[in-house]
Amino acid sequence: MVSRVIPVDPFDLVIFGGTGDLARRKILPGLFRRYCAGQMPEDARITGAARSDLDDDGYRAFVAEAIREFGGGRACEDGTLEQFLQRLGYVTVDAKGEAGWAELRARVRPGLVRAFYFSVAPSLFGDLAERLRQFDLATDQCRIVVEKPFGHDLASARTLNATLARHFDESQIYRIDHYLGKETVQNLMAVRFGNMLFEPLWNAQYVDHIQITVAETVGVGGRGSYYDKSGAMRDMVQNHLMQLLCLIAMEPPARFEPDSVRDEKLKVIRALDPVDWHHVVRGQYEPDGDQPGYREDAENPRSTTESFVALKCHISNWRWAGTPFYLRTGKRLRARASEIAVVFKDAPHSIFGSEAGRHRNVLSIRLQPNEGITLGVTIKEPGPGGMRLIDVPLDMSFADALGPDAADVPDAYERLIMDVIRGNQTLFMRGDEVEAAWAWTDPLIAGWETRGDVPKPYDTGSSGPDDSLMLMHRDGRKWREIRP
Ligand code: BG6
């Protein structure tokens, strides 16, 4: 199966923070892969803009190195990389001053799609937005892309939204949550709304509970100073897990269009009950042999920031009243594995008797690695000797079903940047969604602070603190295993 690539319109993309870590690891290699895929027109130009004193050639050398390191082994030696680099340039700019802006103005061309990627600290968003207006770089059609963290709490997110709104219309602002760019996350919508099979069962009457797990094996070493002020709740739950929860729980939007989808996601966030603090478990990873523990990684020996969080929450609306949602995420866990599992209720009556055991259908949507969707169904164990039941997976793993090309899907950043160029905001967060998500997480975080809550230690390579298992056991349920 060969995937169809539709080239985008010619564009000028300016990356502020063009020499930063995100640009190096994700944005530039992602753009290169789109170039290799034939999606980038001849007339596309990418301009790095940052404080470092570089010229065009210096930047091209920097980008070439980034692509060799993070480009996923794409054809770097056959001339393709050289051709791609010809589309790149660099301007030294001072976000808070006047230097470089006139030159940048001279580089962007009239009449083309124009996008500015703010890959910088949020404290610079206001300055950049102001300079873009002052130096006549911003047009009514231009787009700006901003990264998480989008605020630290509700108040700071409101301030950021207000700052951007002074210079740009909401339709020009693309707030990235890279989880929305993951292939399987979008497939989740295709499965839900493209099939008759699931939607009638997608409610509290048939769904016992839903589990969302985003487990990582990495620690926070190297980014401890950011992470220690953030923790798993702000770094992962407020955004990535919340977005997954929205997509799984939302009502069918009227159309697959930006505001139809985002209106439905917002309704889910607003229908979330406040979380009972007894239903939250926080953890911190311990040292393991030579591997440092969280506190060493964060360089804060008394840190009470969580590197793991598990919680139970409820959505108070007609569809979901009574169905708990369990969310968990953490660093240095047993495996890198992200999964959403929809666990259906037991059949109302077992004609096979109690010795047949308890069997439940589970729809598992595997985000990474080994993307795919599996439906666990109950069948008879083959062979004589009576009716014994077993659970087997109906496997819709993409690589098997769609052939080798399926493994070659664009990574989240590639897809999202191309959506910016196309002007499609469906997979980007709207300002009111971000604020609603903070309004839900703020009281929990404030509660930890006032109670002086200390996270529970957990072993590297485990599934998190035992209390997280208890969160499920108390309800007669259990987490699915974290498997690579
Ligand atoms: C980022 C978080 O947004 O997502 C990181 O800041 C986390 O802490 C990362 O490691 C996980 O992304 P992915 O795509 O590797 O699952």
The domain spanning residue 346 has which CATH number? 3.30.360.10
Are 107 and 184 found together in one domain? Answer: no
Q: Which domain holds residue 111?
A: 11-147
pTM of the model: 0.94
Residue 173 lies in a domain: no
Of the residues 167, 178, 240, 314, which is catalytic? Answer: 240
Nearest to 26 by CA among 303, 412, 428, 483: 412
Residue 204 lies in a domain: yes
Residue 482 lies in a domain: no
Are 261 and 140 found together in one domain? Answer: no
Q: Which atom of ligand 1 is nearest to the CA of 179?
A: 14
Q: Residue 47 has what pLDDT? A: 98
Q: Residue 102 has what pLDDT? A: 96
297 CB less than 6 Å from ligand 1? no
Ligand 1 centroid to Cα of residue 467, in Å, is 24
- Domain termination site, one of 147, 164, 197: 147
Are 91 and 213 found together in one domain? Answer: no
Residue 456 lies in a domain: yes
Q: Residue 352 has what pLDDT? A: 85
Q: Residue 402 has what pLDDT? A: 64
Q: Do 371 and 190 touch, CB atoms closer than 8 A?
A: no
Residue 175 lies in a domain: no
Q: Residue 372 has what pLDDT? A: 87
Q: Do 297 and 224 touch, CB atoms closer than 8 A?
A: yes
Are 282 and 206 found together in one domain? Answer: yes
Cα 250 to Cα 267: distance, rounded to the nearest angstrom:
8
Are 53 and 101 found together in one domain? Answer: yes
Side-chain half-sphere CA neighbours of 244 within 13 A: 29
Tokens representing 327 are: 């969310």
User: Which among 25, 183, 240, 307 is the best mutation to test ligand 1's pocket, defined by most ligand atoms within 8 Å of the CB?
Assistant: 240
314 is catalytic: no
Are 293 and 221 found together in one domain? Answer: yes
Residue 402 lies in a domain: yes
Q: Residue 385 has what pLDDT? A: 76
Q: How many structural domains compose the chain?
A: 2
Residue 153 lies in a domain: no
- Which segments in the chain show pLDDT lower than 70? 1-4, 74-77, 397-408
* Angle, CA 192 vertex, CA 190 and CA 195 arms, to 5°: 80
Are 128 and 190 found together in one domain? Answer: no
Burial of 347-382, coded b for 16+ CB within 10 Å and e otherwise, reads eeeeeeeeeeeebebbbbbbbbeebbbbbbebeeee
Per-residue pLDDT of 110-145, as tens digits, reads: 999 999 999 999 899 999 999 999 999 999 999 999
Q: Residue 2 has what pLDDT? A: 47
Distance from chain centroid for Cα 160: 20
CATH number of the domain that residue 71 is part of:
3.40.50.720
